[in-house]
Amino acid sequence: MCGIVGVITRHSSFDVKLENAIKKLAHRGPDDRGMWSEPHINLAHTRLSILDLSPLGHQPMSYQNERYWITFNGEVYNYLELREELLSLGHQFVSKSDTEVLLAAYAEWGVSCLEKLRGMYGFGIWDRETKKLFIARDRTGEKPLYYWHDENGFYFASELKSLLTLLPETPKLDPVAIDLYVHYQYVPEPLTPLVGVVKLPAAHYLLLDLENWGNIEPQCYWNLEKIPPIEGDPVTLIRQELDRSIELTLRSDVPIAIALSGGLDSGAIAALAAPKYKDTLRAFSIGYPGRPEFDERDQAEQMAEYLGLPFESIELTVEDLVNFFPSLIAASDDPVADSAAYGHYSVMKLAASRGVKVMLTGIGGDELFWGYNRIVNATNLTEQKNQFWQSSPLNQKVWQTLGAFTDTPIAKKLNSPKVPGSIRTALKNLAEQHKYVYRDPQRAIFYDLWPGFANAMWYSDKLYTDATAAQIPAGNPYRLFEFDLASCEDIPVKITQLLFDTWLASNCLALGDRLSMICSVETRLPLLDYKLIETVIGLRKTQGDHNLGHKFWLKSVLKGIVPDEVLTRKKRGFTTPMDEWMKAIIIAYMDNLKNGYLVELKVLNRDFVVKLLEEAQKQSKHLFILYKLVLLETWYREVVVKKEEEVLVPA
């Protein structure tokens, strides 16, 4: 796990200074750093040594008489198997690192090497012979990769803070991206909050030819919808791939530990990893003093004791969060209004203080195995919607008329305790169908059911200045899940893909990477191994599992492996006392919002923001939208305005 920077320039005389960019990535690679350049190309790297701790793993690294040069962030877990295959093809190696294996794989197979990689990665490879730059990102987006370009050059880096130091001027805020953030609590990739700054999407690569710049258009190399269907027993097949995934993610030359909550996903990984790990797997967790409804330390410790794992936890308080908030947002790199951020950072900080460099986590289990009820509901509603719009025009007209009735005063009077429950239930179901199914045939039901999304529609009508609002197209937040339902072959898989493309990549994985790497800790996610994903999705295409119950297949695999109470326990994960935290942060930083950059740059309507703040203080209203705005203001101050300052690595 490392930090990478690269610049390709069309003019060899173009002056590039990478020192500041590398300083911004010091936390991602405290063990070593390096730079390499020649006319047109500049590569830099900071190293967190995990595999092959010797100087032979130094980067940027070259291969084949220095024809190929690489700067690489991540891990290729199956590097030993690929190394053997490449040796049989005549390749030779001087190190034991996965980086050299990746270089040889590209030399042998070109872009097709991506099909063979089992791991997490963001990298750039320069071919000195063809004058081509190849950058790529792993299938689910565990590792970040930002880029920006103009007519003179192409710039890429692991983090936004690093990239901004290279640009000729600070990009402006993008109103479209800001509006998406207000609705989603993050900016969905490939967008960022800044105009022209792009995230290379997960499962994409880009091949840039110095001699023929042309259009810079990333290419997709993997997609859930293209995974072939699989027949077979889900328990047997999923267990097989889960075991293999955990074996691969335990490959390391430094100690490994696990972030353990009281939930199923981290418990499953701990139970399967502990017997396979060559040393003693340690477990770390978090808790909230005086808030037992959120505190899972007891369950996590019981699981650790059941498995014989050393266990340690840290307590989080609202006072600590408020004081640390600006540094937390700076470390996040992207604005992501997820209350789990501080907990994730804190458990990584604790592990780092104990000499741990690699942490296993359960991220991805909810997204792969139907861990969210609202996603199951969205899938079912979208299937109903698809069936409705393929029915006869007469049927559509009848049900649309009945649905419209639920908006009438008469229907609202029927929502009374005096009316039989069966009638009220029927009207409620009809109103739901009217709201989601009987309209917008080109739109899936997806984020409509997520907390905060629908409310944001009301706020966004008044939130922006006229100048900003004029740049935001109508229906902007919905465009991410608009597609032709009739041509969709498998709606449950399509909804899973949407979840991977949005929430998983831009919220969970973005925070997971930045807030572990600010502590110089690498996170590994066994539940997002692509072979495991392909097995689950392939089975889903033939057997369907979204209506079998919460994480039915995963629970079936784990029977007899984890205690029964873990299988039946209500989902919580690293949950937080969110309302208390949000209110405290809003009070502490509201002056920054009222008189800050978002107001000065005429993005936000100050009068409306002040009104929301006043009402929030009186009645505890509008907490989530105000929290998102305070966080966005803090992000702009800490990441964009302070781009020339030294990055703060939390103690």
Rounded average pLDDT over 627-642: 96
Q: Which amino acid belongs to residue 567?
A: L
Surface-to-core class of residue 106, CB atoms within 10 Å of its CB (0-12 exposed, 13-18 middle, 19+ buried): buried
> Would you state the torsion angle of the CA atoms of residues 497, 503, 504, 509, taken in this order, to the nearest 10 degrees?
150
Query: Highest-confidence range of 38-47, 108-117, 146-155, 204-213, by mean pLDDT?
Result: 108-117
Structure tokens belonging to residue 319: 């006072």
* Residue-wise pLDDT tens digits, 306-319: 999 999 999 999 99
Q: Is the pLDDT of residue 573 over 70?
A: no
Q: Of 144, 143, 134, 155, whose CA–CA distance to 207 is shortest?
A: 134
Instruction: Give the residues across from 205 on adjacent strands.
Output: 136, 219
Q: Is the pLDDT of residue 413 over 80?
A: no
Q: Of 50, 8, 23, whose CA–CA distance to 156 is shortest?
A: 8
Question: Under CATH, to which class is 234-369+518-568 assigned?
Answer: alpha beta
Q: Is the pLDDT of residue 572 over 60?
A: no
| DSSP letter, residue 73 | E
The domain spans of the chain are: 2-168+194-221, 234-369+518-568, 578-641
Helix (H) and strand (E) counts for the chain?
26, 17
- Contact (Cβ atoms closer than 8 angstroms) between residue 112 and residue 89: no
At residue 571, the pLDDT reads 64
At residue 638, the pLDDT reads 96
What is the three-class DSSP state of 171? coil
At residue 104, the pLDDT reads 98
At residue 650, the pLDDT reads 43
> Rounded CA gap, 341 and 581, in Å?
12
DSSP for 542-567?
Answer: HH--TTS-TTHHHHHHHBTTB-HHHH
**What are φ and ψ of residue 390, in 5° steps?**
-100, 0
Rounded average pLDDT over 232-245: 97
Q: Is the pLDDT of residue 646 over 60?
A: no
Q: Which amino acid belongs to residue 456?
A: A
Q: Of 450, 497, 508, whose CA–CA distance to 478 is shortest?
A: 450
Exposure string of 279-305, with b = 16+ CB inside 10 Å and e = fewer, is eebbbbbbbbeeeeebbbbebbbbbbe
> Rounded CA gap, 642 and 624, in Å?
26
- Contact (Cβ atoms closer than 8 angstroms) between residue 529 and residue 249: yes
Band the pLDDT of 251: cuts 50, 70, 90. very high
The mean predicted confidence, pLDDT, of the chain is 92
* Residue-wise pLDDT tens digits, 68-79: 999 999 999 999
| DSSP letter, residue 482 | B
Q: Is the pLDDT of residue 14 over 70?
A: no
Q: Is the pLDDT of residue 485 over 90?
A: no
CATH of 2-168+194-221, one of 2.60.40.1120, 3.40.50.300, 3.30.360.10, 3.60.20.10: 3.60.20.10
- Contact (Cβ atoms closer than 8 angstroms) between residue 625 and residue 612: yes
Task: Answer with the residue of higher pLDDT: 319 or 15.
Answer: 319
Which ranges in 167-233 belong to alpha helices (H)?
A: 175-184
Q: Is the pLDDT of residue 118 over 50?
A: yes
Surface-to-core class of residue 115, CB atoms within 10 Å of its CB (0-12 exposed, 13-18 middle, 19+ buried): exposed
For residue 432, the surrounding DSSP H or E stretch is: helix 421-436
Could you tell me what percent of the chain has a pLDDT over 90?
73
Q: Of 268, 284, 272, 245, whose CA–CA distance to 362 is shortest?
A: 268
Contacting residues for 60 by C-beta, under 8 A, at least 6 apart: 34, 35, 36, 43, 44, 45, 69, 70, 71
At residue 68, the pLDDT reads 98
Surface-to-core class of residue 410, CB atoms within 10 Å of its CB (0-12 exposed, 13-18 middle, 19+ buried): exposed
> Rounded CA gap, 474 and 460, in Å?
11
| DSSP letter, residue 487 | G
At residue 570, the pLDDT reads 72
At residue 612, the pLDDT reads 95
Rounded average pLDDT over 143-168: 95
Q: Is the pLDDT of residue 603 over 80?
A: yes
Task: Answer with the residue of higher pLDDT: 489 or 516.
Answer: 516
Q: Of 579, 542, 539, whose CA–CA distance to 557 is shortest?
A: 539
Q: How many residues does the chain have?
A: 651
Q: In Å, what is the CA distance from 83 to each residue of 92, 111, 249, 474, 526?
A: 9, 17, 17, 52, 22
At residue 597, the pLDDT reads 97
Task: Answer with the residue of higher pLDDT: 16 or 235.
Answer: 235
* Residue-wise pLDDT tens digits, 345-390: 999 999 999 999 999 999 999 999 999 999 999 999 999 999 989 8
> Rounded CA gap, 352 and 354, in Å?
5
Band the pLDDT of 196: cuts 50, 70, 90. very high
Contacting residues for 471 by C-beta, under 8 A, at least 6 apart: 175, 176
| Sheet strands (E) in 450-545 | 522-524
